[in-house]
Structure 1
Amino acid sequence: MKRNRLGKSELYVSEVGLGCMSLGTDREKAVALVHEAIDGGINFLDTADLYNEGLNEEIVGEAIRGRRSEVILATKVGNRWEPGKEGWTWDPSKAYIKAAVKDSLRRLQTDYIDLYQLHGGTLEDPISETIEAFEELKQEGLIRYYGISSIRPNVIREYVERSNIVSVMSQYSILDRRPEEHVLSLLAEKGISLIARGPVAKGILTDDGAGKAEKGYLDYGKEELSALRAVLLETGDGSRDMAHTAIRYALAHPAVATVIPGASTSRQLLHNIAASEAAPLTPHELEAIQSISRSSRYEQHR
């Protein structure tokens, strides 16, 4: 599988990665899926301390035991949960980040994290303190690089200008083209990569996703989604199905290093991996897709 450099780092990630949130809580099944992903050419695994209250990290750690050198391991921090308490609290403080990383390392059964990501963020955060925490973790050898996971353009701009982030994770798909407004061009200019999550839009952008389109998606109604899906089914020369078209769309922008569709079954995983063998979209196909979908703007979180 093709690998792309993540920003200006020394990390080269498979263009199709694995979003581990959808692995589920069946340890045996989830570990088998991670092994199948690695065997299929995926080397980028993305998890978070938030997922299943740390269980997801534990499962990923179990799966990569003995195979650590084969993967680029990414996790996230900032959402604080305490046993016995309801819900999560947002905590981007230096003290919390430096404590939380040790818990993630323990669960992941590793002594370093390749990419540590702030799992959110607002302009009200102590951004300088947050950056300082990540920089110290780099110096201590606990993380190799850091990035942010955000859909807030103004927050992204702050970190682009003030920190050494190598990546921004954001939702990006044919149905959510908001990063095209300003974010992708900014990242390309600065040599920072986008990690695209949600490339198939909760399964709507798959051949069997008609039922999932019934609930709508962002500002698309079910009738609009039905019409768009019909056009997408006819896009191209028939060599790609809709999911592969959707994944190749997200990968078409030069700032995108990897997409991380989730997979809860072997069938889904192998289908995602096969997208790496599908032909890139032609300029004509990109133009056609953009003509039938919205070039949306971020109306909130600016």
Structure 2
Amino acid sequence: MLQIIIALLVLLAASGIAEYFLHRARSNAASVKEYHEVVASDWGKTVERSESVNTALTGVVSPADLGSVASAAGLMRGELQGILDAREKNPPPSGERNLAGAETECLTSLDRYLEMVEELATGGDEESIVEDRALLESRAAQALSKVNDFLFNAEFTGDQISGEFFRAGESLANAFAPPEWQSAEEEVAYGIVNSFMDADIKEFNPDVLWSLSSSKRIEGLRLMGVTRENFAEGWIDARGEEKHPVDFHVSRRGIVFTPSTVELEVVVYLERGAPWRETVRLVREADGWKVEGYPFVGWL
């Protein structure tokens, strides 16, 4: 009889334990569902705010339009901070920590990007936008990566932020788009400097660098024992090992143009360190404009 009683007690205990865990599972499932609904709703608000920022960015044609960008970016940052504060007060249900972490990194990265957008738009300073554009675009790339990571973990959300939202650097620069070219030759000279620097920094092409260098510089190189064949070998050394350029910007403003020379202001963005600002000089030769003064490399 005692054995029967013990068996019944064991069965009752097991049943109670099973019911407890079943209740916990149901409760957690309900919590997860509610959590997903909150995350999806908040993400929808984030995407909606991003569309307002995008509208402001795509409408930039002059410095007067930057105020709208700063305002939209500030409002979206407020939305993001509100979501982050709410998550801190209400931890995610069991099993949702990966999603919670991805969401936090996504929203934080978006906030860092928008912080810089807001600062640059508020300042309304062309020089700051030019110098900080590389950093802004780096933050945009980081934010986009974190957004994609979040959406991978949150397949239940169907909304995506427009790609235009992440191109604020280009949009802010539009506020200072230069006037029409004063002459066709100015435009040609601008194109030559861009081609030369693209061959130097973006797609290293020694043939282009050689062909666009002035005859005076070519003669100087030959006196140093540099030929077209071995030209590429010393190019990086001539710049300096500590310099690692990753991008550049040729200004269309302030071009100094004479019948025989052209000077253009250029900014080179380095992998490490502050942007490098110099003036590139072209000279007119029989077959067109050639680069004679190029301070970014010691040879020229």
Asked if TM exceeds 0.5, the reply is no
Point out the structure with max Rg over C-alpha.
2
Q: Which has the higher strand share?
A: 1
Report 1 or 2 for greater relative contact order, CA contacts < 8 Å, sequence distance ≥ 6. Answer: 1
Q: Place the TM-score, normalised by the shorter chain, in its bin.
A: under 0.3
TM-score, normalised by the number of residues in structure 2: 0.22
TM-score, normalised by the number of residues in structure 1: 0.22
